[in-house]
Amino acid sequence: MTMPATGKIPAVVVAWNSGKDIWRCLESLSSDHAVSEIIVVDNASTDNTRDIVKGYRKARLLENPQNMGFAAAANRGIAEASGEFVFLVNPDVSLEGDGFLASLAAALDADPAAGAAAPKLLRPDGVTVDSAGLLMQRNRKAIDRGRDMPDGAEFSRPCRVFGACGAAALYRRAMLDDIKISGEYFDAVFFAYKEDIDLAWRANLLGWKTLYVPEAQAIHLRGWKGRSTGGSRSPSGARRGIPRGIRRHSHKNWYLSILKNDDIINVLKDLPSIAFYDLKLDLYALFFEPFLFLAFWDIIKLLPEALKKRREIMSRRKVSPAGIRSLFV
């Protein structure tokens, strides 16, 4: 597949103690002829991540003095990148085939209203879907479309989705610049988790679409297996390996994304399902992870800033509440 007229594309990788995985990501990016450069933003890794990055000719290392979180680090990388498109990819993702980025870019070239493209992400077995784009349910839980399902015809057709999983997404620079709030692409107060959902929701409000492009396939190791993009799961297994502070951010960010982007009329229409899901989250926290209730203190402290951002988003919105609700499943 030949590259469209848009030219080559910079890739941004946010790393933190990613030494065991990042070499696969860098190898695949270096092999994709569409990649102009690889910008790795390292969040103060203490392993050999930085040494690995320095071994790749296309890679440019940006070192943060401390762990700034995924959102802030991604913002730094995007700001350093140049070009019509920016590819954001996790260090535990490896691209399949040289035409990966060309396929995503061609889809965006064909639709000027499309601001992001989501590839097909598969688990390491190559047959189980990890993400075929993000979907937003009426209870406001965002999920990875097709997660844990076998790959098949349903996931071989391009379609519109609510957003792109932040593990691998091609963004149109014009969209990123259009949806910036308070000078940020991703909301830095999210730190990690659900920042991709927040960005996608804002993009939809401002009239941008996300396209799912099945021709572009990648393998996602997903370090904490079983993690849901949009909510909590059993305390057993890999979830215990997620630092408590990160789990607290995830809990906080679900409420912040609703507060910033949702419509009162839509919340009222879906209130039973939202309230039921919220009750499940709170009961889960009560019995398994009571420290998650500290997230409400975080929300109180962030409330003035969140409301300010909401006012700016709503003052610029282009899609009606009914139009946004039509995107929920």
**pLDDT tens digits, 24-51:** 999 999 999 999 999 999 999 999 999 9
Please state the separation of Cα 295 from the chain's center in Å: 21
Q: What is the pLDDT of residue 225?
A: 43
Please state the separation of Cα 152 from the chain's center in Å: 23
Residues in the chain: 329
Pick the CATH number of 9-220 from 3.40.50.720, 3.90.550.10, 2.40.30.170, 3.30.450.20: 3.90.550.10
Q: What is the pLDDT of residue 287?
A: 95
- Is residue 111 a contact partner of residue 209, using CB atoms and an 8 Å limit? yes
Three-state SS at 8: coil
- What mean pLDDT is predicted for residues 115-123? 98
Q: Which residue has the higher pLDDT, 135 or 2?
A: 135
pLDDT in tens, 177-192: 999 999 999 999 999 9
- Is 90 exceeded by the pLDDT of residue 1? no
Q: What is the pLDDT of residue 235?
A: 40
Tell me phi and psi for residue 218, to 5 degrees.
-145, 160
- What mean pLDDT is predicted for residues 76-91? 97
What is the Cα–Cα distance from 98 to 101, expressed in whole angstroms?
A: 8
- Is 80 exceeded by the pLDDT of residue 69? yes
* Among 187-201, 215-229, 309-323, the least confident range: 215-229
Q: What is the pLDDT of residue 222?
A: 82
Q: What is the pLDDT of residue 98?
A: 85
Q: What is the pLDDT of residue 12?
A: 98
**Residue recorded with tokens 């995007």:** 78
Q: What is the pLDDT of residue 275?
A: 97
Q: What is the pLDDT of residue 231?
A: 35
- Is 60 exceeded by the pLDDT of residue 242? yes
pLDDT in tens, 248-258: 999 999 999 99
Q: Where are the domains of the chain?
A: 9-220, 237-325
- Is 70 exceeded by the pLDDT of residue 133? yes
* Among 103-117, 211-225, 270-284, 301-315, the least confident range: 211-225
Give residues with Cβ within 8 angstroms of 312, minimum separation 6.
181, 182
The span from the first CA to the last CA of the chain, in angstroms, equals 34
What average pLDDT does the chain have? 92
Q: What is the pLDDT of residue 97?
A: 85
Please state the separation of Cα 275 from the chain's center in Å: 25
Strands 129-131 and 159-161: unpaired
- Is 50 exceeded by the pLDDT of residue 233? no
Q: What is the pLDDT of residue 230?
A: 34
- Is 90 exceeded by the pLDDT of residue 309? yes
- Is 50 exceeded by the pLDDT of residue 20? yes
User: Is residue 238 very low, low, confident or very high in pLDDT (cuts 50, 70, 90)?
Assistant: low
- Is residue 107 a contact partner of residue 202, using CB atoms and an 8 Å limit? no
Query: Which 8-state DSSP code applies to residue 192?
Result: S
Ramachandran area for residue 294 (φ above 0: left; ψ -120 to 50: alpha; else beta): alpha
Quick one: CA dihedral 178, 71, 137, 262, positive or negative? negative
- Which pTM was predicted? 0.92
